[in-house]
Amino acid sequence: MKKYLVLMMAVLGVAFTSTAQEKKSKNAKVDVEVKGNCDMCKKRIEKAAFGVKGVKSAEWHADDQMLHLIIDENNTSSKKVQESVAKAGHDTKEVKATTDNYDNLHGCCKYERES
């Protein structure tokens, strides 16, 4: 049992160090699901994404409901972008907008929320 524990810790340790050493990409391509409807949504979503330092490119497409990002992982993360987008009123895969922020959206941007 003890042996296994040591082994497990060793494996974990290797795993940890290897992630810690994995170089953070300056141009990481990240796609995030973001809810929205129209041209106005697109402008708002992209504006929120560009508001996050480290976002180099942000393009949202209504047809696949995806925000295509290129980010500098040294400065930001997908989560941070999602927080900013959610704050603007748009639900993302990991972060949901508050009811207040959603209610503030223009009529045509009131996408259907997953309950």
Partner 1 sequence: MLLCAFGVHNIYAQDTYKGKVLDTYNSSIEKANITVNDSVVATTDKFGMFEVTLNEPSAVYIYAEGYEVLEVELTDKDRFYTFQIQPEASLNELVVNVNKKNTERNKGITNSQTMNSGELLKAACCNLAESFETNPSIDVNFSDAISGSKQIKMLGLTSPYILIAEENIPSVRGASQAYGLSFTPGTWVESIQVTKGAGSVVNGFESISGQINTELIKPGNDIPFFLNLYGSTDSRFELNAHFNEKISDKWSTSLFVHGNTRVKKNDMNHDGFLDNPLGSQVNVMNRWQYQNLEKGWIAFITARYMKDEKQTGEIDFDKDQHKLTTLKWGSELNTDKFDASTKVGYVFPDQPYKSFGWQNSFSYHKQNSYFGLNQFDITQRSIYSNFLYSSIISNTLHKFSTGASFMHDDYSEFIANYGNKNFDRTDTSYGAFFEYTYDNTDNLALILGGRIDNSNRLGTFVTPRMHVRYNPWEKTTLRASAGRGKRLANIFAENQYLFASNRQFNILNEGGKAYGMDPEIAWNYGLSVTQDFTFLGKNASLTLDFYRTDFQNQIVVDLDQSARSVNFYNLDGKSFANSFQAELSYNIIKHLNLRTAYKYYDIETTYSNKTLERPLQAKHRVFANLEYTTHENNGSYWKFDATWNWLGAQRLPYTGDNSIENQLASYTNPFSTINAQVTKVFSDNFEVYVGGENIGNYQQHRVILGADNPFGNEFDSTIIYGPIFGQMYYAGLRFKIK
What's the sign of the alpha-carbon dihedral 101, 103, 108, 114? Answer: positive
Residues within the interface to partner 1 (CB under 8 A): 27, 29, 37-40, 42-43, 46-47, 50, 55-58, 61-63, 70, 106-109
Q: How far is the CB of 20 from partner 1 (least distance, A)?
A: 23
Nearer to partner 1, 37 or 82 (CB): 37
For residues 43 and 34, what is the distance between their CA atoms, to the nearest angstrom? 13
In the complex, least distance from residue 16 CB atom to partner 1, rounded to whole angstroms: 27
Phi, psi of 15, deg, nearest 5: -60, -45
Q: For partner 1, which is the closer residue by CB, 9 or 61?
A: 61
- Contact 60/72 with Cβ under 8 angstroms? no
